[in-house]
Amino acid sequence: MGDFQAALEDGKVAETLDPSWPKPHFRQGIALRALKRFDMAISAFAYGQSLDPNNPSWQQEIEETERQKEARKAARERKR
């Protein structure tokens, strides 16, 4: 398993170096999703999508994150 917190920090640093580059937002989104910070991950992917609107991967990542968010919510509700 990766060190997703470090990956998130790396993505933030890369973003400061070139705010117009979409890839740091992708990396941040992946790291945030792995850390179960789903809303923040969706925001990162959406911002990346605004920088790179012709890339369909952004929407796929948003949808995958939404699926994981809903699955986690359902699992928590079953435990009640």
Q: What is the pLDDT of residues 6-58, one digit of tens each?
A: 999 999 999 999 999 999 999 999 999 999 999 999 999 999 999 999 999 99
- Split at pLDDT 50, 70, 90, the class of 79 is confident
Q: What is the pLDDT of residues 45-72, one digit of tens each?
A: 999 999 999 999 999 999 999 999 999 9
Per-residue confidence (pLDDT) for residue 2, from 0 to 100: 78
Nearest partner of 28 among 13, 49, 7, 47, judged by Cα? 7
Per the listing, tokens 């790179």 go with: 52
pLDDT at residue 1 greater than cutoff 70: no
